[in-house]
Amino acid sequence: MENMNFQVNLQGIIDLLSNHLYSDPGVFIRELLQNGVDAITARRKLGHQYEERVTVELFPSSHTLSLQDNGAGLTLQEIEQFLARIGSTTKKGDLDAAEAFIGQFGVGLLACFVVSDEIVLITRSAADGDSLEWRGKPDGTYAIKKLNNQAPIGTTVYLKAKPEYEDYFEYDRVSDLLTRYGQFLPTPIYLTEGGNEERINESLPPWKLDRAGALDYIEHSAYYKPMDAIPLHSAIGGVEGVAYILPYAVSLQDEKRHQVYLKNMLLSDKMATILPPWAFFVNGIMNTDSLRPTASREAFQENDLFFLVRDELGNCIKQHLIGLSEQDPELLKRIILIHYASLKAMAVEDEELYELIIRYLNFETSYGDMSMSDILSSYPEILVTTTLDEFRQIARVARSQGLMVINGGYVHDFELVRKLPSVSEDVDVSILDILAIANRFERLAGEERKALEPFRDLADALLERFQCRCSIRWFEPADIPALYTTNEEVNLFKLADDSEREANALFASIVQVIRQELYDEPFARLCFNYNNPIVRKAAASGDIELQKVCIELFYTQALLMGNHSMNAEELRLMNESLLHFMNRGLDEAVGGAR
């Protein structure tokens, strides 16, 4: 078997870099800048004392750009080793030394081929007196020659723009790119054109500023005023940063725009995963010395260290919010109010976030809108409904009975209420059985109950076709004649009956199959309130026909009061019962007039 070497198509690799690895052709500025800063770091390690500097010069007439650093430079051996071998890098040989360098992969210089058809590099090593020129082309050929004139120690790279990339060599574009990637680098960076020189990086990074300075920075750079600034630290990841609490509501699905720097050079300003998913309400700016970048240097490798760092940064945010709950609860309330919907969604999944914010969340209750803090302080027993309809059916009655019922029908509210015992041992939470609510009402005495059985039996017979059974109890408030309660199961069967009557045989047959599988056919409940004077009069009446009309009117009125939909038969029943009483009243009025 003969061993063979792979044949590398350099033009194909450049196409890969251009169209797949790098998000924008402008990354060539970042790669040149990174190489220059790393070269200066390498010379610093040699113990040289000098004025560090990176200079980018533009030659607009020829659309040419040069980047010069006064770093360690390259020897002939290093040129052949690192510029002629794709994937090789000066940082790999010494892992300890590599910690100080930004770059970790030997493909960065190839990014220049995306915007230029030739790379010209002039260098002089701090360890070797020869000045050398290296010219590389995207077809994989290169040439090296020794220069007669002595170049300064360091490296200068020259690029001439391809016809379609001239705008990347214009002053404003280059200035923006240098600022974007290098504004927080400690090495001075200058941009020159036609004798004019501009210092790019003079400001301190926000993670080196105090709270007031960090807030001022984001207000002037991002044009919004955050609600607060949270210091971020990770010892294991060498991370410093600031998380800004957004002053406007954002969706969980919105793109996260965390700015992340690697050794003070921008890696990405759209890194979504560096903070936990629940921290959607902040935009972070942070710098790391230890996390390892991907080949494109636009993200980090998501290894065990990465996730440990993310958890550590998330804990910084949580601890800050806990501090606000003690030191500035009003600010925390405003934060929760603005990010209310999304915070609720995340609190369902995250135990720590749940424990932090649950007491600040508001819920609709039988006593009106209340914060969970007030609910827990006053009501050790809580009932929660599973749907909005269930809550509407009994909200008013529940309050009269002294019951704390929370509406669990809104998104996430049911899950949030059910988890309350995990943060408060003194509270008991139960799911309200809406059909059994009448069992909580006061029962009638034996003789009284027996006397009312004919009325109840009549009501059962009349309302059986509507899948409803009746009871008579005493409850508050007295102005409610009857309370109708139902659930989804009952509604399904009522819908089946309606469909059958409307000749929707297919749907009705499906529901009939389901019905046959159940041991007990479900029934809604209509509870007559014997505390209501009209109910007492109707029950005491000896006129069966009048009692029937009263029962039908009580039933349809209870449907309306509970916001229940009515089918055609129930609407007919309501109209006929109302007309009956209208005619009866009018007949009496006319008879009295005669």
Three-state helix/strand/coil letters over 400-464? HCCCCEECCCCCCHHHHHHCHHHCCCCCEEEECCHHHHHHHCECCCHHHHHHCHHHHHHHHHHHH
- Locate 115 and state its tokens: 């915007």
DSSP H or E stretch at residue 16 = helix 10-16
CA dihedral 420→422→424→425, nearest 10 degrees, is 120
- Strands annotated E in 275-377: 282-288, 362-365, 368-371
| Long-range contacts of 223-227, Cβ-Cβ distance < 8 Å, separation of 24 or more | 224/248, 226/283, 227/331, 227/334, 227/335, 227/338
275 neighbors 284 (Cβ within 8 angstroms) = yes
Rounded Cα–Cα distance for residues 270 and 260 (Å): 8
Strand boundaries in 183-227, DSSP class E:
189-193, 196-199
Strand arrangement, sheet containing 64-69: 142-146, 131-136, 116-124, 154-161, 64-69, 54-59, 189-193, 196-199
Report the DSSP pairing between strands 154-161 and 116-124.
antiparallel
CA distance 272 to 85: 34
Instruction: Give 20's DSSP letter.
Output: I
- Strands 228-234, 131-136: pairing is unpaired
Strands 64-69 and 116-124: unpaired
Cβ atoms 260, 297 nearer than 8 A:
no
> In residues, how long is the chain?
594
Is 442 labeled as ligand-binding? Answer: no
Backbone angles phi, psi at 244, to 5 degrees: -100, 125
Secondary structure class of 581 (helix, strand, coil): helix
**If phi over 0 gives left and psi between -120 and 50 gives alpha, with beta otherwise, what is residue 236?**
alpha
Question: Is residue 155 a known part of a binding site?
Answer: yes
Residue with tokens 């720097």: 261
Please check if 35 is assigned to a binding site: yes
- Binding site for ATP: residue ranges? 31, 35, 69, 155
- Binding site: residue ranges? 31, 35, 69, 155
